[in-house]
């Protein structure tokens, strides 16, 4: 029976009709929930955004002032979309709603109340680069300088300070847990954090965390401001509750309790995948426990995916040990079951994906309606190479395209000077990797090397060493030794071994000193060596990469879209959250890869990885393909047999099809669980 809604203000007949016409019973119940604490569990494709906007429209139609409503979203894009939809329902007054991210709203509030927390209202917000610069000065204040290339770097220290704030844990504890190599500098790191805070305050500057922390200070330590916010915001709505951290959830719940006690949290515990950023799973899971009497609404009708895909996703997430019980039901017509394909190796997997993409395109499916979603960015490397070779346009949503990343350019510079010792752009990239060699010293060295008959021989002379600052001569000697070792690996006929020689030399230390996420970057380089294993010529390997898009600045072939703008989407699963495609392929589904060993070693890690898998498979609307190689190559270990991911083997085999590759570009369908 359709629930009749009551709207207090006159002239709302049209809006009432839209509610009853455009919302299903579960959506209508959630959108028109009574005042108080409400939790709306919105499964994938269940119309979450529609329910939130209708909820706000319902409150305003009942007489709640738009400016008395706070709508917190995960991204600015989501806020803009909701306000736009709200305007279509209630008109221009929609813009009066306090809609935005936590940081956006915190900034608005602190502009009015900065004096209470020791700031002037004209405070400056520091961007990422500003934060790192100030942390660098704070590290100098704390004596955290001159301790070698393995010492903490400003970007890493800034990241750890921020993470400690967002998870509300002592910084020293996190140093021991996440950076045990910093143990001898623990006191200085803690002192640097304090110096950083003092410098921000002295400069009347706030970073992003301050926009939350000082807003929370207003609520917790200033009763008059807490009461004022309680009176100001009669209703609070939080989208993507599962992605909030502990600071954020404590903040909104405190404001709600200080006021009318009206908080609507919307999200899906099964899509909580941002623990690495400080998101706290219990924020949504324990919402009813923290707020006794809270009502729970479930949106379980899926409008995105076919019944076959929904059945598979239900079976997968049901294996998690914790979470709200839910069973999604598709509102669509039936389609094919998900497909599982095992390939001989990762190269055949990339070939299979390209072939399937081409078949879908021949069937009239645009490339932009397809996506390949992977757990780790480096899982896309072989695929990017194959797509480039085949001329299939693609776009990467998981960061910079592989061949354009700084660390890949670095390693290619080691190879380029082997192939062509007169390659000045390669020397211009390679030499400044050494500490103490800036543009001027690099230019002098390049001029000396290129003026000689044999740049490699000139590099090893005492004359070259004299051009290097005294403090950098040890690192320069190490570079000379590394280039000698790379030559000994016979790069001309074995580029893969040459890349491994780079990894055995000083480059890992350079990467750790120069870049954030060095372990991930070095894993990328390992995958580059796997890709290079297909070549028996260094010249051809380097040429193919450069023709795929010059890593020193030319336009990339893969970035050239077709005339109609169609490009295949490559994305990490985390970047794909909230999006959807007609066809989705999830590759590299092997144990020790997805789920990964590091995640499995952490408490709750398997459940978190399964939620990541759940997000991936729920992006598919019409067809879902899951692939895995039977063998992978690992540098230094050769070819290793794999086992399929538990995320495949634990699902009832009746819920998917198995396809065998009988011959090149030829799939045969079989029944039953091949994995």
Same-domain pairing of 136 and 107:
no
- Per-residue model confidence as pLDDT tens digits over 493-505: 888 899 999 999 9
CA atoms lying within 13 Å on the CB side of residue 607: 12
At 136, give phi and psi (nearest 5°): -60, -45
**Mean pLDDT taken over the chain:** 87
Task: Write out the residue range of the structural domain in which residue 41 sits.
Answer: 11-111+213-299
Same-domain pairing of 516 and 505:
yes
Provide the domain count of the chain: 4
Same-domain pairing of 242 and 103:
yes
Same-domain pairing of 619 and 541:
no
Same-domain pairing of 477 and 419:
yes
Same-domain pairing of 150 and 134:
yes
Same-domain pairing of 391 and 415:
no
Same-domain pairing of 242 and 101:
yes
Residue after which a domain boundary falls, among 180, 203, 226: 203
Question: For residue 150, how far is the Cα from the chain centroid?
Answer: 26
Q: Residue 213 pLDDT > 50, yes or no? A: yes
Residue 44 counted as an annotated binding residue: yes
Residues 469, 441 contacting (CB under 8 angstroms): yes
Residue 228 counted as an annotated binding residue: no
At 549, give phi and psi (nearest 5°): 145, 110
Same-domain pairing of 440 and 487:
yes
Q: CA-to-CA distance for 534 and 347, rounded, in angstroms?
A: 9
Give me the pLDDT at residue 557, please.
30
Q: Residue 400 pLDDT > 60, yes or no? A: no
pLDDT (mean) for 196-219 = 91
- Per-residue model confidence as pLDDT tens digits over 226-251: 999 999 999 999 999 999 999 999 99
Residue 48 counted as an annotated binding residue: yes
- SS3 letters for 176-200? HHHCHHHHHHHHHHHHHHHHHHHHH
Range list of H helices, 467-604: 473-488, 495-504, 507-514, 518-532, 538-547, 573-576, 597-600
Question: For residue 645, how far is the Cα from the chain centroid?
Answer: 21
Same-domain pairing of 460 and 483:
yes
Q: CA-to-CA distance for 269 and 449, rounded, in angstroms?
A: 60
At 32, give phi and psi (nearest 5°): -110, 25
Residues in the chain: 675
Residue 572 counted as an annotated binding residue: no
Give the pLDDT band (50/70/90) at residue 603.
confident
- Per-residue model confidence as pLDDT tens digits over 293-341: 999 999 999 999 999 999 999 999 999 988 898 899 999 999 999 999 9
- Please check whether residue 674 lies inside any domain of the structure: no
- Please check whether residue 2 lies inside any domain of the structure: no
Give me the pLDDT at residue 560, please.
39
Q: Residue 674 pLDDT > 60, yes or no? A: no
- Please check whether residue 117 lies inside any domain of the structure: no
Residue after which a domain boundary falls, among 172, 203, 234: 203
Same-domain pairing of 536 and 497:
yes
Residue 34 counted as an annotated binding residue: no
Give me the pLDDT at residue 338, please.
97
- Please check whether residue 477 lies inside any domain of the structure: yes
- Please check whether residue 254 lies inside any domain of the structure: yes
- Please check whether residue 671 lies inside any domain of the structure: no
Residue 45 counted as an annotated binding residue: yes
Q: CA-to-CA distance for 651 and 629, rounded, in angstroms?
A: 19
Task: Give every CB contact of residue 181 below 8 A, 6+ residues apart in sequence.
Answer: 150
Give me the pLDDT at residue 640, please.
87
Give the pLDDT band (50/70/90) at residue 582.
very high
- Please check whether residue 208 lies inside any domain of the structure: no
Q: Which of 352, 637, 406, 391 is nearest to 524 (CA)?
A: 406
Residue after which a domain boundary falls, among 499, 522, 550: 550
Q: How many CB atoms lie within 10 A of CB 499?
A: 29
SS3 content of the chain, % helix, strand, coil (to 5): 55, 15, 30
């Amino acid at each position: 029976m359709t629930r009749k809604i009551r709207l207090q203000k006159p002239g709302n007949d049209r809006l009432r009709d839209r509610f009853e016409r455009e919302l299903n019973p579960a959506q209508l119940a959630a959108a028109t929930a009574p005042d108080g604490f409400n939790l709306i569990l919105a499964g994938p494709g269940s119309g979450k955004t529609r329910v939130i906007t209708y909820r706000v429209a319902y409150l305003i139609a009942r007489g709640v002032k738009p400016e008395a409503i706070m709508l917190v979203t995960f991204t600015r894009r989501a806020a803009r979309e909701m306000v736009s939809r709200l305007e279509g329902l209630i008109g221009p007054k929609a813009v009066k709603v306090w809609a935005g991210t936590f940081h956006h709203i915190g900034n608005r509030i602190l502009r009015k109340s900065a004096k209470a927390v020791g700031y002037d209202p004209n405070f400056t917000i520091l961007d990422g680069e500003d934060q790192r610069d100030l942390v660098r000065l704070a590290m100098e204040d704390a004596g955290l300088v001159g301790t070698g290339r393995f010492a903490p770097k400003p970007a890493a220290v800034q990241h750890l300070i921020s993470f400690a704030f967002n998870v509300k844990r002592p910084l020293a504890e996190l140093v021991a847990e996440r950076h045990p190599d910093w143990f001898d500098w623990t006191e200085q790191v803690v002192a640097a954090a304090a110096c950083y805070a003092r410098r921000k305050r002295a400069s009347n500057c706030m970073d992003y965390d301050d926009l939350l922390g000082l807003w929370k200070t207003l609520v917790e330590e200033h009763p008059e401001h807490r009461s004022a916010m309680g009176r100001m915001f009669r209703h609070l709505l939080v989208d993507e509750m599962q992605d909030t951290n502990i600071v954020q959830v404590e903040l909104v719940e405190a404001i709600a309790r200080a006021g009318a006690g009206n908080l609507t949290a919307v999200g899906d515990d099964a899509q909580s995948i941002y623990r690495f950023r400080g998101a706290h799973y219990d924020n949504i899971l324990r919402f009813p426990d923290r707020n006794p009497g809270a009502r729970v609404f479930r949106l379980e009708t899926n409008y995105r995916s076919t019944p076959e895909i929904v059945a598979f996703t239900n079976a997968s997430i049901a294996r998690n040990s914790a979470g709200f019980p839910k069973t999604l039901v598709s509102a669509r017509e039936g389609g094919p079951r998900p497909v599982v394909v095992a390939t001989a190796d990762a190269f055949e997997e990339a070939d299979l994906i390209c072939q399937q993409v081409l078949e879908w395109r021949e069937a009239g499916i645009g490339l932009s309606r397809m996506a390949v979603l992977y757990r780790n960015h480096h899982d896309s490397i072989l695929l990017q190479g194959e797509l480039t070779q085949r001329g299939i346009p693609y776009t990467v949503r998981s960061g910079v395209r592989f061949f354009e990343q700084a660390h890949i350019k670095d390693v290619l510079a080691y190879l380029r000077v082997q192939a062509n010792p007169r390659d000045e752009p390669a020397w211009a990239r390679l030499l400044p990797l050494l500490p103490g060699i800036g543009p001027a010293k690099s230019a002098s060295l390049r001029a000396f090397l290129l003026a000689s008959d044999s740049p490699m021989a000139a590099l090893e002379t005492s004359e070259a060493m004299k051009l290097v600052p005294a403090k950098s001569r040890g690192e320069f000697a190490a570079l000379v030794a590394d280039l000698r070792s790379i030559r000994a690996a016979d790069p001309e006929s074995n580029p893969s071994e040459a890349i491994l020689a780079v990894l055995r030399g000083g480059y890992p230390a350079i990467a750790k000193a120069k870049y954030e996420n060095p372990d991930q970057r070095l894993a990328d380089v390992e995958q580059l060596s796997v890709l290079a294993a297909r070549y028996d010529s260094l010249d051809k390997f380097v040429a193919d990469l450069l023709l795929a898009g010059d890593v020193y600045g030319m336009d990339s072939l893969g970035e050239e879209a077709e005339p109609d703008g169609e490009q295949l989407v490559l994305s990490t699963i985390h970047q794909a959250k909230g999006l959807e495609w007609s066809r989705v392929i999830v590759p590299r589904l092997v144990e020790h890869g997805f789920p990964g060993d590091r995640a499995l070693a952490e408490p709750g890690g398997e459940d978190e990885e399964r939620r990541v898998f759940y997000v991936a498979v729920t992006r598919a609307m019409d067809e879902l393909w899951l692939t895995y190689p039977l063998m992978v190559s690992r540098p230094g270990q050769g070819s290793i047999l794999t086992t399929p991911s538990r995320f495949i083997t634990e699902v009832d085999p009746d819920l998917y099809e198995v396809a065998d590759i009988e011959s090149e570009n030829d799939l045969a369908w079989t029944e039953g669980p091949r994995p």
